[in-house]
Chains A and B, each alone.
Chain A
Amino acid sequence: DTEVTQTPKHLVMGMTNKKSLKCEQHMGHRAMYWYKQKAKKPPELMFVYSYEKLSINESVPSRFSPECPNSSLLNLHLHALQPEDSALYLCASSRGGQGRNSPLHFGNGTRLTVT
């Protein structure tokens, strides 16, 4: 089992809904990430939090809003999504944002379907 836990595993939402994805890790990692993955494609970086501060936003539309309440938790708030936003959303963590030998640990993702 992965040490990065994501909830829910599956989510179906309408284009007018507001929902949140949650991610939790207890490895003491200080960097946390959101990735989006389409079928048969590599993960695409969305956001990076380093020491609970947003350090990278890969020009993600504002309908995606990340939040890092503490060093163990990462949320992704969703609002007014489009069908093309349907994808697997992966959370990951690493020991430190600047650590060279700090591999990413991924969760198993939330499968999001926007109807």
Chain B
Amino acid sequence: QQQVKQSPQSLIVQKGGISIINCAYENTAFDYFPWYQQFPGKGPALLIAIRPDVSEKKEGRFTISFNKSAKQFSLHIMDSQPGDSATYFCAARGIYNQGGKLIFGQGTELSVKP
């Protein structure tokens, strides 16, 4: 059974702090790792994504770090803001795509306190 394990389940960070969410996978046949951000009452929105031939990708305050040998990847949110409060899902997709099927982590509920 392909799995993506995500931690922590919930996270409270002070405004201006760094939020770190970790994911680990078991199947080496994954080749695309997106992160989705979901606000209450909304659908998930793609935040940032990485492929395993890259160890880090940065977009604004959001950075993905990827460790292929450890089968781990993480999302760092720098200078966290109250507007970043949302649920974050990591995900992985297989090399053979399986028709576009994403394997999601269980989600992290982030709360940024002012």
CA distance A43 to B45 in the complex (A): 12
Q: Is A31 in contact with chain B by the CB < 8 A criterion?
A: yes
Interface size on B, residues (CB 8 A): 26
Minimum distance in angstroms from B23 CB to a CB of chain A:
12
Q: Is B46 in contact with chain A by the CB < 8 A criterion?
A: yes
CA distance A109 to B45 in the complex (A): 12
- A43 and B44 in contact (CB under 8 A), knowing A100-B32, A103-B34, A103-B49? yes
- For the complex of A and B, the 9 pairs showing the least CB-CB separation, nearest first, are A106-B43, A42-B104, A55-B99, A56-B99, A108-B43, A103-B46, A48-B99, A106-B44, A108-B42
Name A's interface SS: loop
Q: Is A59 in contact with chain B by the CB < 8 A criterion?
A: no
- A104 and B100 in contact (CB under 8 A), knowing A2-B43, A42-B107? yes
Q: Is B20 in contact with chain A by the CB < 8 A criterion?
A: no
Q: Is A102 in contact with chain B by the CB < 8 A criterion?
A: yes
B104 contact set on A, CB distance < 8 A: 42-43
A-B contact pairs, 20 of them (CB 8 A): A40-B87, A41-B106, A42-B89, A42-B106, A42-B107, A43-B104, A45-B101, A45-B102, A50-B100, A56-B100, A56-B101, A90-B43, A100-B93, A101-B32, A102-B100, A104-B100, A104-B102, A106-B44, A108-B43, A109-B42
